[in-house]
Amino acid sequence: MVLDERRMQRNRQRLEAERDRLRQELDRLTAVMDDRERPGLSTHMADHGSEVFEQAKNLAVGERLRETLQSVIKALQKMDRGTYTVCDRCGGQIDPARLKALPHATLCKPCQALMERAPRSR
Ligand SMILES: [Zn+2]
């Protein structure tokens, strides 16, 4: 089973929209963090502990946004190359139902499960 042209077009649109949204989100996050670093700006009564916590949370959120953005960009590049439905790891076909649910998937289900279980390789 392959992804038909119409589904492919729809996924491309979804990916492009997602890419733009993620970039905006990252910009916003960066702006917020820049603001916090400027001294004297936070006149509200927030204690230092929660500031640090906020900062750490923003960093974690930013990290996750960047990772998703990478996948989205990769998926779009694969589309351009005509290898969108091919798994990056084993070269097999990614289940179309999976791509429908997760347009930025670049691995087939078994490979994704393997990658998530395996410790990060250096
Ligand atoms: Zn695979």
DSSP assignment of 87-119, as one string?
Answer: -TTT--BPPHHHHHH-TT--S-HHHHHHHHHSP
Long-range contacts at 93-98 (CB < 8 A, ≥ 24 apart):
93/1, 93/2, 96/1, 96/2, 96/3, 96/7
How many other C-beta atoms can be found within 10 angstroms of the C-beta atom of residue 12?
A: 16
Q: How far is the CA of 102 from the centre of ligand 1 (A)?
A: 15
Q: How buried is residue 94: exposed, middle or buried, by Cβ count under 10 Å (0-12/13-18/19+)?
A: buried
Q: Are 87 and 111 in contact (CB under 8 A)?
A: yes
Q: Are 114 and 82 in contact (CB under 8 A)?
A: no
Question: Which domains are delineated in the chain?
Answer: 5-117 (1.20.120.910)
DSSP letter at 121 equals: P
**pTM exceeding 0.85:** no
Q: How far is the CA of 25 from the centre of ligand 1 (A)?
A: 30
Q: How far is the CA of 116 from the centre of ligand 1 (A)?
A: 13
Q: How far is the CA of 78 from the centre of ligand 1 (A)?
A: 15
Per-residue pLDDT of the chain (122 residues), as tens digits, is: 567 889 899 999 999 999 999 999 999 999 988 876 666 555 555 567 888 888 899 999 999 999 999 999 999 999 999 999 999 999 999 999 999 999 999 999 999 999 888 776 55
